[in-house]
A and B are shown apart, each in its own frame.
Chain A
Amino acid sequence: MPPRWPAFLAAPLAIAVPAAHATTYLTVAQAQQALFPGASFTPLDLKRREHVWRASSGGWFLLDEVLGKHELITYAIALDAQGRLRGIEILDYRESHGGEIRDAKWRAQFLGKTAADPLQLDRDIRNISGATLSCRHLTDGVKRLLALYETELRHR
């Protein structure tokens, strides 16, 4: 059935805006300050894809990415000194229905950006109504980071 538009909306053209869009919420430094205000951070190289910092105020800042079918999400969690989850922040959200998500070159364009340099892609499509991703990948990612804490960080 074709869309039926209420009278107050001009029947819009079915504008096929780019299927790819991205939002940067926080840089790594901003996320660290949001989760551990005032702390300084020492990186710990575990030779894994997840990035880990120890916070001077006690606790850990863990940075990771989850890759869904259509979305790539960079997120961070804060753990207190006892390993309890005290916060989650999303840093970047990238979505595409064009198959680019799994393309390393497409993903590479987002590296090294800052919040002061918002992606052009996002500028015109900020408010999307309608089913978006489920957060299952993100929930699985957080579980994975908590397991990483148990095996690699708890006894440090």
Chain B
Amino acid sequence: MRPSSGTVRRARPLLGTLVDIRISGALRHALPALERAFAAIERVHRAMSAQESTSDIARLRSGRRCALDPWTRRVLDRAEEIRQATDGLFDCAACDYALDGIAKGFAVDRAVECLQDAGITAGVVNAGGDLRVFGDAFEDIHVRTPHEPARLLYIGRVRNAAIATSASAGLVDPLARACRSRAAGATVIASDCMSADALTKPCMLEPVKAEKLASQFGAKAIVL
């Protein structure tokens, strides 16, 4: 007899990385729920890929703001809120509308939403290091340090939280319009992954202000 509950884990290459989804609980709805979650991530990938010529990013770069996926509008709106709250330290427009620094977190949130809508009560969605944990169980979290990828830092246990880590290599300071960063990387813990993902960038650029920047969004920052 097949078990009626347990853990299912899958990974697929999306968003330029490996997206890993692990869900626990009743298995009856697990596989359709996983398919819907991956489909949501594919939709974000199609709309917000900087590489694909048919994406919304390509549209925005050619000055067209019509016919955008409503999800792209949501990401642009949130990006604008964060730009204002960080005095321009986070600015997609400065990087030619590359939404890389926020879209991955948004995709994780949409995947979690799909899983929860399908009745999944616990799980983890990890898109190449931007991850979100939902359900009653606590999960151990490790951070890969940017300057020493062979080592993983154990940062503690979380539940119902999102964690994003970014390394500063290649990070552009929207204010100086140049690659500049004062920290090697930053980890942000927030209630949603889009905010966590976006906030890692201003926290790296201004590590002294990281705590204050993150707290505006009810988040916590760790400068690496």
Cross-chain contact B154 with A12 (CB below 8 angstroms): yes
* Interface-facing stretch out of A38-46, A56-64, A85-93: A85-93
User: Residues of A contacting B82 with CB < 8 Å?
Assistant: none
Interchain Cβ contacts within 8 Å, total number: 142
Distance of A88 Cα from B207 Cα, bound (Å): 40
User: Residues of A contacting B146 with CB < 8 Å?
Assistant: 130-131
Q: What mask results when residues 207 to 223 of chain B are scored 1 for a CB within 8 Å of chain A, else 0?
A: 10011000000001111
For chain A, residues 67 to 123, give those with C-beta under 8 angstroms from any C-beta of chain B: 70, 73, 75, 88-90, 93, 97-98
Cross-chain contact B155 with A9 (CB below 8 angstroms): yes
Cross-chain contact B18 with A132 (CB below 8 angstroms): yes
| Main SS class of interface, B | strand
Distance of A73 Cα from B17 Cα, bound (Å): 12
A48 on the interface (CB 8 Å rule)? no
Cross-chain contact B18 with A93 (CB below 8 angstroms): yes
- Which of A3, A90, A133, A135 is packed against the most chain B CB atoms within 10 Å? A3
Nearest A residue to B133 via CB reads A127
A49 on the interface (CB 8 Å rule)? no
Q: What mask results when residues 119 to 148 of chain B are scored 1 for a CB within 8 Å of chain A, else 0?
A: 000001010111101000001111111100
Distance of A26 Cα from B167 Cα, bound (Å): 31
Say how far B75's CB is from chain A's closest CB, in angstroms. Answer: 20
Cross-chain contact B223 with A90 (CB below 8 angstroms): no
Cross-chain contact A19 with B143 (CB below 8 angstroms): no
Say how far A113's CB is from chain B's closest CB, in angstroms. Answer: 15
User: Residues of B contacting A26 with CB < 8 Å?
Assistant: 10
Residues of A within 8 Å of B, CB-based: how many? Answer: 42
Say how far A39's CB is from chain B's closest CB, in angstroms. Answer: 16
User: Residues of B contacting A29 with CB < 8 Å?
Assistant: none
Cross-chain contact B220 with A8 (CB below 8 angstroms): yes
Cross-chain contact B223 with A130 (CB below 8 angstroms): no
> Which of these, B124, B150, B167, contacts A126 with CB under 8 Å?
B124
Residues of B within 8 A of A (CB): 9-13, 16-18, 20, 22, 31, 124, 126, 128-131, 133, 139-146, 149-156, 163-167, 182-185, 187, 189, 207, 210-211, 220-224
16 extra interface residue pairs, beta carbon distance < 8 Å, beyond A17-B142, A127-B124: A4-B210, A14-B151, A15-B152, A15-B153, A19-B152, A90-B11, A127-B142, A127-B163, A128-B152, A129-B129, A129-B144, A130-B143, A131-B165, A131-B167, A133-B17, A133-B18
What are 30 A-B contacts with C-beta separation under 8 Å?
A3-B153, A3-B223, A3-B224, A4-B222, A6-B211, A6-B221, A6-B222, A9-B155, A9-B220, A10-B156, A12-B156, A14-B153, A88-B12, A90-B10, A90-B18, A93-B11, A98-B150, A125-B142, A127-B124, A127-B126, A127-B141, A129-B155, A129-B164, A129-B187, A130-B145, A131-B128, A132-B128, A133-B17, A134-B17, A135-B18
